[in-house]
Amino acid sequence: MRVLSFSSTMPSNRLQNVNSKQITNQVTGFTGKDTVHISQKYEQNSLTADKLFENCDKYIKESLPTSIYWHTQGAVATAIKLAMMFNIDSNKAALAALLHDNAKWMKEEEMIQFAQKNNIKPAIQDQVNINTLHGPVGAFIAKTKLGVKDPDVLEAITHHTFVKPEMCDLAKLVLLADKIDPVTRDKDLIKSVMQTLTRTRSLNEGIITLFKERHWIP
């Protein structure tokens, strides 16, 4: 069994771990062959190199429920690993994964009212499933409140809950990182998707595997 900590998957200037809270999960499939044991104790993230990233992390830690915050940390770790696999900017991947659920502090009616007030036009999927509305609402918050300007990062936040034609690779990556977060997601799903990604080197094939496995959780 190989040991992989969150800090080992992230650039050294991105994350420092402070011992306090333990997150332990058995995850199969990061290499496509062996079992990866992720066990890391930390209380908070100190993001010293990037002020934008630091401010965004502070915002979500203060606003999100604890369970969603830790899910976000798992998604960040996964996004960076996938970015390395697919030669995608790891800083953009980390930021988009960090913010993908930033609007989930809102209740359903509050989110609908927020979208209407700010003229956020949902996609068809968002009108059918309220759970996906947090994508475009989160992108709006990231841009207007947190100062995120990169169009690929904003697209990734907007579309991380569903597939649309001509998605950029960063959006595909964050969609996958959200669904195979090692902190909260099903280990058999993670194994299946990672085996597909390792074998095919295709983000599209990884997304297809998500559909085949019927694990589609906004």
Can you give the pTM of this predicted structure? 0.75
User: Concatenated DSSP letters for 58-110?
Assistant: HHHHHHS-HHHHHHHHHHHHHHHHHHHHHT--HHHHHHHHHHTTTTTTS-HHH
pLDDT at 132: 79
Handedness of CA 92, 4, 204, 215 (dihedral sign): negative
pLDDT at 196: 96
pLDDT at 142: 96
Alpha-carbon distance 103 to 93, whole Å?
18
pLDDT at 57: 93
What is the set of domains in the chain, with CATH numbers? 50-213 (1.10.3210.10)
Q: Are strands 35-41 and 2-3 parallel, antiparallel or unpaired?
A: parallel
Burial of 24: CB neighbours in 10 Å, binned 0-12, 13-18, 19+: exposed
Residue type, 204: N
Alpha-carbon distance 7 to 17, whole Å?
7
pLDDT block averages, 10 residues each, the chain of length 218: 29 30 32 30 36 92 94 95 95 95 91 89 60 89 94 94 85 95 90 95 94 65
Alpha-carbon distance 170 to 97, whole Å?
10
Structure tokens given for 84: 């390395």
Residue type, 163: V
Secondary structure of residue 173 in the 3-state scheme: helix
